[in-house]
Chains A and B, each alone.
Chain A
Amino acid sequence: MENARRGERLETQVCGLSRRDFMFGGLAAALPANRAGRADLRIGLLLPPGPLGPSILRGAKLGITEADSLARMFGKRIDLALPPVAGPEHMARVASRLIKDGVSVLVSGGDERAAEALLEVTREGKALFLNVGSASDRLRTELCDRHMFHLHASVQMHVGAAGFWLIEEKRLRRWAVLSESDEVQRAVVAFAKARGATIEEGARAVSGATDWRPTLERLRAAKPEALWIGLRAETVPGFLQQYGRAGLAGELVGIMPDAIGAPKLERAARSGVWPVMWHHTLEKYSARDLNNRYRRRFGVGLDGASWSAWAALKLVGEAMLRAGTTPEALLEYLESDPPFDGHKGRPLTFRKGDHQLRQPMYLAQATKAAPGKSGPSGIEVIAEVPRGDLDAILLPPKDGGCRIA
């Protein structure tokens, strides 16, 4: 209780705003100078409106509480600034003001567009940029930057986790893919090509489609052993309903990287297997401890988006104690392969080629309905992927893509 009380008090202090202000993002981008002078490290969280916002905010709150508690054991302090961000177009302006106010680490909870808007500012300001909101492969390839680190798993990692499981565990190599997203489609095709699977049918789904019968007939003819779907959360239930009625055989794999963790997944994923970064039912390797801390504080389960935000703040706090407070020192530290403990049972490190955090993923599926009840009763984790080398679910950075040394 003492810690919990301390945490709440701390949150108000470090954010420099009341609980109401914090929750509604009422903090002005420019913090008072005296406040800026007191912290040893200042972090800014840029969180434009989006579906992952509440999850990212909760994860960041737990992360800053834990990072600052640790820092205080050694006589240091870490602040988290949470300025209002109306949309991706405001990211650069707000970030510039934060950097002028002494913020040296920016945590972006926005999508690819928002992250891209931050890149130039972080380069000029020599700030560190941690991405916790976007799975975009483009951010890890053509837009990659030495100052940018990705805690959030990429689209390619989500695909790699499920693809690895299909090939290594289920021995299924004949795939079909149906996606509204070019990025998911590309990732599936690339992983299949790299790992010896074949694409029997590749269909670009029309956004907003409601009648899936023609697609399902093509799939029936192609007879894939596994079908990948990369559909928007609102499209998934309708598709799954028709897919179920069609009685097609084969494993179903769903990819929804930027919505994973939001309640959307729990509602949409009524069948199939879905790769996730984290799940609130995890227990092994001290996952239970982290899940308990989160649930005690917020009353809800920890999800993937929250995990990546928590991890970013925790990681930076540890980096400050071990390496120093300047962006240069932090950057060198993160590039030195420090083993980060993300409660996933093994050391997590950033890949040198693109600064993607290597981490195990989890495959989740709807639990079977309890006897006498209809419908799924929730989501459960059925596998951790990979069990061995974490690079097994990654593909090498493409030639001409990322140029981080």
Chain B
Amino acid sequence: MRPGAIVAFAGWAVSAALGVRPAGAQPFAYVSNEWANEITVIDVATKTAVATIPVGKRPRGLGLSPDGRHLYAALGSEDAIAIVDTAARKVMGRIPAGSDPEMFALSPDGSRIYASNEDANRASAIDVRARRVIASVTVGTEPEGVAVSPDGKWIYVTSESTHTVSIIRNRPFKVATTLLVGSRPRETAFTPDGSRAYVTAEIGSTISVIDVQKKAVIGTIKLEREGARPKGIVVHPNGKRAYVSTGSGNEVAVIDTEANRVLSYIPVGRRPWGLALTRDGRLLFTANGVSEDVSIIDTETGQVVATVGAGKGAWGVVVGR
């Protein structure tokens, strides 16, 4: 480890120990701007951008620690995951993450990061405090989206070129089975009770429904919409709705998770990819890469209630608690 990294890590540990709270009383949303090399910070209460954080080259995938104190951002052009102190709004360190990291997921307790390594066709488990890879397995070709089941036991890794989802057991870190899903799978989201997982497929224009216990695809939802390329997905805290960004379709599809069918489409900005919900599920944020903004949707009315400017190539979004 480089001396600078040790200092940064020590600072992080001290700030965590002192219980420094995030700036402001309200939760904030964080948007990665792929080509602006920065994070836009949005005040959820006022629905306005309040800050930008220079973070490093090509930030895409984002994650928040369970306590909201640390934001993680995959830096594709720096082969690292940046650690941002959300109170100070400054980068406090980096975790080596292999070649061109794009997406990752945090374990529920925040102790591990699970990341895909596209060039190597592998998925890795990273110890956050030690900042090192502690386990790695081979998955399909072009691994991309990573998601962790609510109980932390299962890690789902989509592989775009093989159209597969590798279901990895947490301990020991080992592939339990592989499922064939729609063409070019991107992201996975679990229902809050962990019984179902939904996987978007960009080229197939589908969402595969997986029975988590059976480790089997039990249904497929087709987005019958011209130009729809499903990418991001989140499930409402009540488990009854899933929201899917459709990329070049410029909409968010609303899925009824009980009937597994599309209920409606909500027009948003251009090329929505990243999605995030507030803790209560009332507001949905979409990161729109081409229009370089964020659409904020009231999930009860299904209407966009605000559009907030972001940076060039808005990509991922997370919302604090």
Contacts and interface: CB of A to CB of B under 8 A. Distances in A.
Chain A interface SS verdict (over half): helix
Contact of A347 (B118, B160, B180, B205): B205
Interface string A334-373: 0000111101001100000000000000000000000000
Given A3-B121, A339-B183, A74 B205 contact: no
A343 B118 CA distance: 15
A220 interface: no
B307 interface: no
A343 B204 CA distance: 13
A322 interface: yes
A132 B178 CA distance: 31
B184 A73 contact: no
A3 B160 contact: no
Contacts of A318: 163, 183
Contacts of B203: 339-341, 346-347
A66 interface: yes
A286 interface: yes
A71 to B, nearest CB: 10
A286 B121 contact: no
A343 B121 CA distance: 17
Interface of A: 2-3, 66, 69-70, 73-74, 286, 289-290, 292-293, 318, 321-322, 338-341, 343, 346-347
B183 A347 contact: yes
Contacts of A289: 118, 142, 160-161
B19 to A, nearest CB: 43
B162 interface: yes
A233 B142 CA distance: 37
A324 to B, nearest CB: 13
A234 B163 CA distance: 42
B162 A73 contact: yes
B67 interface: no
A69 B183 contact: no
Interface residues of B, number: 20
A341 B140 contact: no
Contacts of B160: 286, 289, 341
A302 to B, nearest CB: 14
Nearest to A322: B180
A69 B184 contact: no
Contacts of B163: 70, 318, 341
Ranked nearest first, the 5 interchain pairs of A and B with the lowest CB-CB distance are: A341-B203, A341-B183, A73-B178, A341-B184, A70-B162
Contacts of B48: none
A66 B161 contact: yes
Nearest to A348: B203
Given A70-B140, A74-B178, A346-B203, A341 B161 contact: yes
B281 to A, nearest CB: 32
A242 B117 CA distance: 52
Given A339-B183, A340-B183, A73 B204 contact: no
A197 B246 CA distance: 37
A322 B204 CA distance: 13
B191 interface: no
B65 interface: no
B257 interface: no
Q: Which of A70, A318, A343 has the most CB of B within 10 A?
A: A70
B141 A69 contact: yes
Interface string B162-190: 11100000000000001010011000000
A74 B140 CA distance: 12
A292 B121 CA distance: 13
Interface string B90-123: 0000000000000000000000000000110100
Nearest to A1: B120
Contacts of B138: 2-3
Nearest to A296: B119
Nearest to A341: B203
Nearest to B118: A289
Contacts of B140: 70, 73
Q: Which of B119, B141, B161, B184 has the most CB of A within 10 A?
A: B161
A41 to B, nearest CB: 15
Given A341-B183, A347-B203, A69 B142 contact: no
Contacts of A66: 141, 161-162
Nearest to A340: B183
